[in-house]
Structure 1
């Protein structure tokens, strides 16, 4: 009965996350592309979420039927994609917080840092870091799975696996560092918006800026932190499947982050189009 509940939860996440992220990625590439560092980070975050969502049907089938007919290597692949999403999403969310901090607190001094080319190089390093973590973890998971007598998958196979690569502990430390960065960015931006009321008028929507940082912290603390802690320790009374469900919800929350982050950009673009049309009409009139 509990497994069926998890199957329904993953099914709902799939039904919401797939169209939301597919639409968000299409809108980002069509209307924003890689013209700003914020858009570059958003595109990579959407790609990370889609890589997780498109494999959720396998989890739905597993929890609905209690069987895994796809083999052990497919189980390793799906599990690694889940961990890749948690790691890459947490890094991209942190980068978005830092980018918004620089844009609001240091708009002029950070112009040479906030460029699309630097954002693309940073995103490439993030994916390289994530893939490097897959090598020791994939080997460890495969070795443990093939030592089992029965075909199992996900937490039923890994919960009893005491062997963890040192890289898992390293990423846990990185996660706490990123959490501190998100908290620091939020505090600095809120202080800037509160102290410099006149300067905050340069921000298109003060509420949107505050919502971005609030959402980043909520996603980080609720979705990323619990499952990361559980990967290095056994939390008393914790349900690994519940933590996985909680972490997967970030696929449905991230599209809201795209809206609040790029809503101001849409208004800028519309205003620029209006001014361009006005100048064209004036020229034709003269």
Structure 2
């Protein structure tokens, strides 16, 4: 199979014409830096709260959310290298370091995709089949499912980096090159677009439709006990964030395969931006899943109340202690 250019000759290593490099690099630095700071704070907060749950009160959905927070945290920890690259600081990062950072992004992107699918599927089964013993037993296997996701995503992503051609590897320009080892092989492209994105998206759409139908048919939803609008909004926001984060990357990947003989300059730029949107998912996941979960909010409220109680208790004890010592001082 003929090999396309690693980076189109009409473009620079950032995927744009030379006169726009500085402005585009500033956009990447700003977005990646924001994702790094916000994603680090949000996901660390989520992990602290989730890990403080007692094992008996930890729901199956919480297990998926904990693993999702871990995946997002690993992703944001790989962003400083991308920020360094787009700052145009010399010397540029070593190519092997860039390869491993790309591997971390790939593993955690598809890990997040499958974990988001599992969260949606778990919620759907809990609402649609609340009394089913088989469903209950299946939901208890969430730790095994999460382990399988980690093994599968890492095992599926690693060969594409280890088996790349040496000649191709010598021409790579850190994050300024196209993933030739990913889009040049039809088998990899097909499995990525179908199994890696199409199947999870189909499952999420089907589960979201089932949830919405179950809510509409529920008699409890007609009362004030359940805020159906809030649930509908949560489902819509979750799907919107999923599509915003991962649809552009897979659409561009399909276009790269179609134009693999001669990749145009705009397509290289689109690939860079699609990766940036995929990284945004690490910052948006906490907003869509953790901070909208009732158990998470209750846990946060309990922690705040405990801190306030301890502070008030400490102040009252100190005040009483000062009152008892006052007559002695006088």
* TM-score (ref. length: structure 2): 0.72
**1:136-151 map, 5 Å:** 136-141=159-164, 143=166, 146-148=169-171
Mark the structure with the bigger radius of gyration: 2
Cα separation, 2, equivalents of 1:15 and 1:264? 21
Which structure carries more relative contact order (alpha carbon 8 Å, separation 6+)? 2
Offset of 1:163 from its aligned partner?
A: 3.1
Q: Per the alignment, do residues 81 and 216 of structure 1 end up closer, same or farther by CA in structure 2, a change over 3 Å counting?
A: same
CA apart distance, 1:133: 1.3
Number of aligned residues: 264
Answer yes or no: is the 8 Å Cα contact 2:78–2:105 preserved in 1: no
Task: Using the TM superposition, give the Cα deviation of residue 216 of structure 1 relative to its aligned residue in structure 2, in angstroms.
Answer: 2.6
Structure 1: tracts of 5 or more residues without a match: 271-286
Change in CA separation of 1:16 and 1:197 when aligned onto 2, cut-off 3 Å: same
Match of 1:166 in 2: 187
Shift of 1:108: 1.2
User: 1:89-109 CA deviation, whole Å, 9 max, x = no partner?
Assistant: 111111111111011111111
Q: Within 5 A, what are the aligned runs for 1:63-142? A: 63-65=86-88, 69-109=92-132, 110-115=135-140, 118-141=141-164
Q: Which residue of 1 aligns with 2:318?
A: none
Choose 90-99 or 101-110, whichever is displaced more. 101-110
Q: Aligned pair in 2 of structure 1 residues 71, 165: CA closer, same or farther (>3 Å)?
A: farther
Task: Please report how far the alpha carbon of residue 157 of structure 1 lies from its aligned counterpart in structure 2 after TM superposition.
Answer: 2.0
TM-score normalised by the chain length of structure 1:
0.82
| Structure 2: gaps (5+ residues) | 1-21, 303-330
Q: Deviations over 1:61-81 (max 9, x none)?
A: 100116563311111110111
Aligned partners of 1:216 and 1:141: how far apart in 2? 35
CA distance in 2, matches of 1:223, 1:193: 27
The structure-2 alpha-carbon separation of the partners of 1:60 and 1:198, relative to structure 1 and needing over 3 Å to count, comes to same
Q: Which residue of 2 aligns with 1:197?
A: 219
- Give the Cα separation in 2 of the matches to 1:68 and 1:263: 47
Which stretch shifts more, 233-242 or 51-60?
Answer: 233-242
Q: Is the 8 A contact 1:205 1:264 kept in 2?
A: no
Asked if 1 retains the 8 angstrom alpha-carbon contact of 2:220 and 2:226, the reply is no
Question: Are 2:208 and 1:186 equivalent residues in the alignment?
Answer: yes
CA–CA distance in 1 between the matches of 2:224 and 2:78? Answer: 42
Considering only aligned residues, what root-mean-square deviation do their CA atoms show, in Å? Answer: 2.7
Cα pair distance change 1:262/1:80, threshold 3 Å = farther
